Chains A and B, each alone.
Chain A
């Protein structure tokens, strides 16, 4: 158990280090950060002055050592755009993104589990087909487009919710539902297929023979056994949301999370802020991955930490 934990930790550190190295290489070696940060009309003298002031004229390995040492202490430097420490800016945005993602995954689970079970119970019924085709549509529709469509319908035409912004539940509903659409599709599919597998198992017959009610068998026997892929997928979807989809949804709804911050930083060529943002997201992803492993083991006693 301890060994397993240590190995997971080493692996996580490797991921975070890997991300930092890639971000460093991309921002320092592939492109020219100074050119990017300076306005287009800057002169050669200004260019050289800035290059020197920011230390971009030093050898790459020296720059990397400096970058790594500071990153370890959580110091990414000041944001060019806001003139405050970049890491703080990112951390300020965390609650908004977390709120959005957790509400979205909650909606997704509440919506998809009953749907998937019903579809698996009556394979090839009308409901099953509607579910399969519907969940396929959830997977096919681009998130940002779906966001605009719900804005058009529920905010512009019906006026039930706000088109964009942050603050009340009226702001939250549309982005959360939009973000939930893709996971609903995928989770419904996995609930359906893993329930189908479980319903064919012989322990189901045994349970029925014992005289248990159908509802009890489905929820306590089949769903419990089917829950491992479901929970794994849901956690994986949450990771993907935090590491990507939120960016697009936050952009559509002007939701002030770290995804929107990343886009703003990119538009303003604020490299320090981009680095801090990517670093924080990598940390979140790694932490979630470890959590997924633990959930996995907690649900399935056969899984041993080795």
Chain B
């Protein structure tokens, strides 16, 4: 179309079009604005941000090498406590390693495991759910039966058995937790897909000749993103806790590397002589999971306005 002088007269409309071209930035801006109004959610995002930053920049943040022993300084209490050393803020463990540095590095394990499991289990579970919900009928029956059966498995015990056989390591923890974690994605995705299947836009896409794969991934999946984002965040919190449990049972990272669960397991036998060995890594887990949960609950209320009356808002 040729540009005519009249076009300059309808500048506002152009501005709208400009804006439509960047829905992502506009949405992000809306997101940040909504977030800043919600103090609880801001706290959650802040906690998550700090944990992620500490884990990514661990060598810069941690005051010491997390595996460096200093037997002369073993079981030093936190710097503010009686007998504390100002050089070790959170004290040292039974081998004289700096607790703070170990916590900072331990965050890497939690986040690596958490994000990998969420990615693997999520991708698998969501695919199963999409297929099951879209095709329905026998496919749905079989896939959902399998999902049900696996949901009824005693997950932690099976995870323990598998790790006993294949040996403890971070990679193996990711494998077992992914095997145990995909079912919830499949269930929820299928539920939403079933109702999406009945909406006119799916029929419309079929009529204009879209293939099933295209309808599932290009048409249906984007509509599923916001509930799935909430679910994924909640699952991330759950996985971080599960990783800590497995590490606590000695089935994750092996010494001398640090992970939060392992630090608590190590501190277990020194519990009467050094409360700080157990207390601080536990607080790190609890705070991280707390932060992730706050973000999840905010995402839920943000993406679903009908849930707003449940929101824990500190600002009306």
Contacts and interface: CB of A to CB of B under 8 A. Distances in A.
Interface of A: 11, 14-15, 18-19, 22-23, 26-27, 30-31, 33, 36, 123-124, 129, 132-133, 136-137, 139-146, 148-149, 151-152, 156, 193, 196, 243-245, 247-248, 251-252, 262-263, 266, 269, 274, 277-278, 281-282, 285-286, 289
Nearest to A139: B293
Given A149-B282, A282-B152, 5 more contacts: A18-B149, A33-B165, A36-B164, A124-B313, A285-B152
20 contacts: A18-B153, A23-B158, A30-B166, A31-B166, A139-B293, A142-B245, A142-B289, A144-B248, A145-B244, A145-B264, A146-B282, A148-B282, A149-B279, A149-B282, A151-B271, A193-B310, A248-B248, A266-B160, A269-B164, A289-B152
A132 B157 contact: no
Contacts of A139: 289, 293
A145 B286 contact: yes
A36 B286 contact: no
B12 to A, nearest CB: 41
A247 B278 CA distance: 19
Interface string B278-294: 11011001110110011
9 closest Cβ pairs, A-B complex:
A31-B165, A145-B282, A244-B156, A243-B154, A140-B289, A140-B290, A281-B154, A15-B152, A141-B286
A31 B268 CA distance: 30
A30 B252 CA distance: 18
A11 to B, nearest CB: 7
Contacts of A245: 156
A191 to B, nearest CB: 13
Contacts of A123: 309
Given A151-B271, A243-B154, A282-B154, A145 B285 contact: yes
Interface string B283-316: 0011101100110000000000000011011000
Nearest to A246: B156
Given A19-B153, A152-B271, A266 B282 contact: no
Interface of B: 145, 148-150, 152-158, 160-162, 164-166, 237, 241, 244-245, 248-249, 261, 264, 267-268, 271-272, 275, 278-279, 281-282, 285-287, 289-290, 293-294, 309-310, 312-313
* Residue with the greatest number of chain A CB neighbours at <10 A, chosen from B154, B278, B282: B154
Which of B157, B275, B278 has its CB near the most chain A CB atoms (within 10 A)?
B157
A186 B275 CA distance: 28
B251 to A, nearest CB: 8
